[in-house]
Structure 1
Amino acid sequence: MKIEVSGITEGQPIPEKFAFGVFNADDHMSFGPNRNPEVAWDKVPEGTRSFAIVMFDPDVPSVADDVNQEGKVVSRDLPRVDFFHWLLVDIPADVRRIPEGEDSNGVMPKGKPAGAGAIGLRGVNNYTQFLAGNPDMAGIYAGYDGPCPPWNDELLHHYHIELYALDVASLGLSGEFDGVAVREAMKGHILASARVTGTYTLNPDLR
């Protein structure tokens, strides 16, 4: 199976139009255009009954105490965990493209609802937890929300956009399901997968 993510080249920086946060010299970070990239695919295996898209960042600090704190840095040696940015499942088997901006076009304070989207079923991404303590932003963030790594992180972040061809028409997920639930539901049903990885940072020393 072959995947193409328009505007994102393997191993290269992700364009700011796809980011939740963009570099701001005065305030470190401003909200970005937050558009989902176009994802297109072909060479689909026989027997495919649906697709799933998972985008995640494996470089997120496991401890957030120093994240975005003046006068501090997030050490590159800190253990890292997965942060899910995009969960889209039950994409019909005849679909071969998710258009740019179809699942996200701008930062939506308090998030976007889980459940049926324009194409497929949206899962809940980890901005739901990350923004839970911010009264202006707290809510359920489902579908796509793009990169916004800590501006004081010593580590360059990598963003994996993965496409899965599945042998079931539906993963049977509902409600506010998350990335862990998607991975568990896909077990034993993956016919093929493909991945594109881009990078992103808000740290001026790494840009």
Structure 2
Amino acid sequence: MKIEVQGIEDGQPIPEKFAFGVYNAESHMSFGPNRNPEVSWSDAPAGTRSFAVIMFDPDVPSRADDVNQEGKTVPGDLPRVDFFHWLLVDIPASVNRIPEGHDSDGVIPKGKDHGPGPTGVRGVNNYTQFLAGNADMAGTYAGYDGPCPPWNDELLHHYHFEVHALDVDSLGLTGEFDGNDVREAMKGHVLASARVTGTYTLNPDLR
């Protein structure tokens, strides 16, 4: 099985048009275009009944004490956790492409609706937790919201775009399901998977 993410080469930087946050020399970060990239896939195995698309960052600090704090840095050796940026499930087997901007086109304060989207069913991404303390932004964030790593992180962040061919029409997920729910529901149902990884940073020393 093969996956292609238009504009993103494996191991190369992700263009800013796909980012939630972009570098700003004065304020460290500004909101970005936040468009989902075009994702397409091919060579799904026989018996495929649906697809799931997941994008996640495994390099997110496990503690947020020093994140985006003036005069501090997030050390590279700090333990890291997964942060889910995009969850789409129950994509019909007849679909093999999600166009650019189809699931996200701009930062939407308080988030997009979960549940049925333009393609498939949207799960809830981790901006829901990350922005929970921000009165202007707090809400339920579903579907795609792109990279916005801490601007003071010593570590370059990696973003895995994955497509999974599944042997079921639906994973049976409803409500505000998250990335861990998707992974658990997929167990025993994955026929094939493919991945492309891009990188991103807001740290001027790493750019």
- TM-score of the pair, normalised by structure 2: 1.00
- Aligned residue pairs: how many? 207
1:141 deviation in Å?
A: 0.1
Is 1:167 paired with 2:148? no
Q: CA deviation at 1:117?
A: 0.1
Output one character per residue of 1:117-148: Cα deviation in whole Å (capped at 9) or x when no partner. Answer: 00000000000000000000000000000000
Q: 2:52 is matched with which residue?
A: 52
Give the distance between the partners of 1:177 and 1:4, measured in 2 at CA.
Answer: 26
Partner of 2:202: 202
Alignment of 1:20-169 (within 5 A): 20-169=20-169
- The one-letter code matched in structure 2 to 1:48 is T
Q: Counterparts of 2:113 and 2:135 in 1: how far apart (Å)?
A: 17
Structure 1 runs of 4+ off > 3 angstroms? none
Displacement of 1:21 in angstroms is 0.1
Offset at 1:55?
A: 0.3
**Code of the aligned partner of 2:161:** I
Q: 2 CA distance for matches of 1:72 and 1:172?
A: 44
Deviations 1:70-128 (A, max 9, x none): 00000001000000000000000000100000000000000001000000000000000
Q: Which amino acid aligns with 1:112?
A: K
C-alpha distance in structure 2 between counterparts of 1:179 and 1:44, whole Å: 22
Corresponding residue number in structure 2 for 1:3 = 3
Gaps of 5+ in 1: none
Residue 164 of structure 1, CA deviation: 0.1
Q: Note the C-alpha offset of 1:172.
A: 0.2
Structure 2 residue ranges without an equivalent (≥5) = none
Shift in Å at residue 167 of structure 1? 0.1
2-structure distance, mates of 1:109, 1:184: 29
**2:21, 2:167 → 1: CA distance?**
36
User: How large is the Cα RMSD of the aligned pairs?
Assistant: 0.3
CA–CA distance in structure 2, aligned partners of residues 154 and 119 of structure 1: 36
Q: Percent identity, please.
A: 82
| CA–CA distance in structure 1, aligned partners of residues 195 and 202 of structure 2 | 23
| Partner SS for 2:182 | helix
| Residue of structure 2 equivalent to 1:193 | 193
The DSSP-based 3-state class of the residue aligned with 1:87 is strand
Q: Distance in 2 between matches of 1:177 and 1:44?
A: 25
What CA deviation, in whole Å up to 9, does each residue of 1:128-178 have, x standing for no partner?
Answer: 000000000000000000000000000000000000000000000000000
How many angstroms apart in 2 are the aligned matches of 1:131 and 1:114? 16
